[in-house]
Homo-oligomer: A and B are copies of this chain.
Amino acid sequence: MQVSQQRLREDIEANARFGDIDAPAGRGRTVLTGSDADRRAREYFVERLRDAGLSVRIDAVGNVAGRWVPAGADPDAAPVAAGSHLDSVPEGGIFDGPLGVYAALEAVRTLQERDADVSLDRPIDVVSFTEEEGARFSHGLLGSSVATGARDADDALAFHDADGTTLETHLDAIDFRGTDTIDAAAWDAWAELHIEQGTVLESAGAGVGVVDAITGITTCTADIVGEADHAGATPMDERRDALVAASEFVVDFRAAADDVAQNQSATAVGTVGQFDVTPNARNIVPGEVTLQMDIRDVNYRAMNAIAERADAALARLETTHPVETSFDRYRDQRPSRMADDCVDAALDAAATEDIDAKRMHSAAMHDTANVASVTDAVLLFAPSADGLSHNPREWTDWVDCATAASVLAGTLARLAGA
């Protein structure tokens, strides 16, 4: 199901103009939800949906869906949907999000051209979710969380940006607070194409990644409290040094993550990325350390194993050091398993086109993780040059974009009943 590389490229390049920035290398853009760049990107998208004959719906949080009903399809059948997002991080790249949105549209255009040959039973929705990046409202995957019912639209509309302006106000300003309903649970299946943001495909020389699981994330914070004291006047055996205790914890935490990765689940990772010492002055014995842990895996039991060992290591510190500790697992997103039927459809679509597909997991979060909680879903990856993303140097060759989009088109054709 070969799509047109030329049409896909034209749409992505047209979209790249909205919020474009001067970058010393590469092509960058800043598209924050509710900005003028966002309005222009959305208006262009709606125009392109209508150009292709799709009927457009916009929901309360600005999610946009365009529906195509193939000639032989039942208009009331549960549709198959595909898409991604148009927003970006500040000074992000031009592919993260837009590739999946315009690949879905290009897949529909390609299927329309072959409507006589392929027999589709279901309508197809082309979707763009609002605020995937969370760059303006600090809540990523926002649009899909509303479309899947995980979050009330009213709650989401009340979120405010750093200036205190709500999502509702921003959407009103760009005239994209709609009145339609977009219900992901009503979709028969979902597929998203996204850039990989890693080097697995590049290393393997594969044309497309077929993701069978999206990693879960749990985040924990620990507080280790000793006592700040004069670094000269406090003898070694009278110290309550929070940094020494916290350092021992970091070493224990790493050992726990290594052990789980080696013996339980090779994809498990655990990181202490943030580590703040108080008062953090050369001549004062540290009185307190607060640190943040990030634990991810496609295997939830492995995530739990690392988190539980972190908790136990902290409790142990209280017996070996004169410190008090606290532990809070304050966020817990389980791994998402993709539906076997959808994964098989994508692998079959790639095989039919003689495209080398790599079955893999995603270590990053995507809207598909939300959608997979309410319907069958699959996530496809296109190769990322050097794994770069969230950066103007993010790049995927146009031929690679088209190759992955062709697999998406074949996947949608299979899921829609061809």
Contacts and interface: CB of A to CB of B under 8 A. Distances in A.
A111 to B, nearest CB: 33
A296 B232 CA distance: 6
Contacts of A262: 236
B275 A277 contact: yes
Interface in A205-249: 215, 217, 219, 230-237, 241, 243-244, 246-249
Contacts of A275: 243, 275, 277, 280, 286
A294 interface: yes
A233 B276 contact: no
Contacts of A292: 282
Contacts of A274: 277, 280-282
A257 interface: yes
Interface in A296-313: 296
Q: Among the interface residues A215, A243, A294, which one has the most CB atoms of the partner chain B within 10 A? A: A243
A225 to B, nearest CB: 16
Q: State the copy count for this chain.
A: 2
A197 interface: yes
Contacts of A233: 197-198, 363-364, 387
A269 interface: yes
Nearest to A232: B363
Interface size class on chain A is 35 or more
A236 B261 contact: yes
Nearest to A389: B230
Interface in A107-136: none
Contacts of A241: 254, 271
A339 interface: no
A273 interface: yes
A276 B279 CA distance: 12
Contacts of A296: 231-232
A251 interface: yes
B236 A258 contact: yes
A56 interface: no
B217 A236 contact: no
A285 interface: yes
A272 interface: yes
Nearest to A261: B236
A271 B266 CA distance: 38
Interface of A: 197-198, 215, 217, 219, 230-237, 241, 243-244, 246-251, 254, 257-258, 261-262, 266-277, 280-286, 292-294, 296, 363-364, 387
Nearest 4 CB-CB pairings of A with B: A232-B363, A247-B247, A247-B250, A231-B271
26 contacts: A198-B230, A230-B363, A230-B364, A231-B294, A231-B296, A233-B387, A234-B269, A235-B266, A235-B269, A236-B258, A236-B262, A236-B270, A237-B258, A241-B254, A243-B273, A243-B275, A247-B247, A247-B249, A248-B251, A271-B285, A273-B281, A273-B286, A275-B277, A282-B292, A282-B293, A283-B294
